Structures are given as C-alpha cells and as structure tokens.
Amino acid sequence: MTMNNKETVMKKITHTLAIAGIAAMLSVTSAIAQGAAISGEVKKIDESAGKITLKHGPAKSLGMDEPMTMVYRVKDPAMLTKVKVGDKVQFEAEEAASGYTVTKLQKSK
C-alpha cells in the first residue's frame, strides 16, 4: 500500500467512526428526553398560587414508580394559561427544596 492509499483508508475510517459517534450521541439524547417526559391529566389549576394538580403515570425521572395525583408548582405561571382541567398533557418536573416543580408542560397530541 502506498502512503496515499493509507491516508485515504485512514480518512474513510475516521469519517465512518465520526458519523457512528454522532448517531450514537443523538440516540442517547433522544432516549433521555423521552424518559423525562411524564404523561398526565390536568385535575386542577390554581393560577393565584402558581400550582397545578396532575394525575399521572409512573414518573421514573422523579423516582416515582406508581401512578398518582400530585400538586406541583410551576416554573413559569404562564404555563397554566395554556391548559385546562381535563387536558391530557406531557410534562417534565424536577425536585427542589420547595417541592416538585413542573419545568415543561404541553398538551398531548
């Protein structure tokens, strides 16, 4: 093999590995994002307190293995104007010192 052929082969291998690495990162990112979303239903909205009551399935991202109904604070009170009682939603939440807080909220499609 000549030096030019070796360089060409190395470039092809490097290119292939780079593409495979990017595909793997995108796959992991997608899996993480899907795992964080929680399916639920709006049971009550308290705009003045900035809280929402959600009946939801297991919330693995919060360490909750069983379905339950809970009251959550919302990170942005404007979220509460985009849903109404009875809406099916997808949400993400985090645990803070003050309790659980919804960080993302959208109607299910």
pTM beyond 0.85: no
Residues 55 and 41 sit within 8 Å (Cβ to Cβ)? yes
The angle at the Cα of 108, spanning 106 to 54, to the nearest 5 degrees, equals 65
Residues 6+ apart with CB under 8 A from 50: 73, 74, 77, 80
Q: What is the mean pLDDT of residues 50-63?
A: 93
Q: 70-107 pLDDT, tens per residue?
A: 999 999 999 999 999 999 999 999 998 888 999 999 99
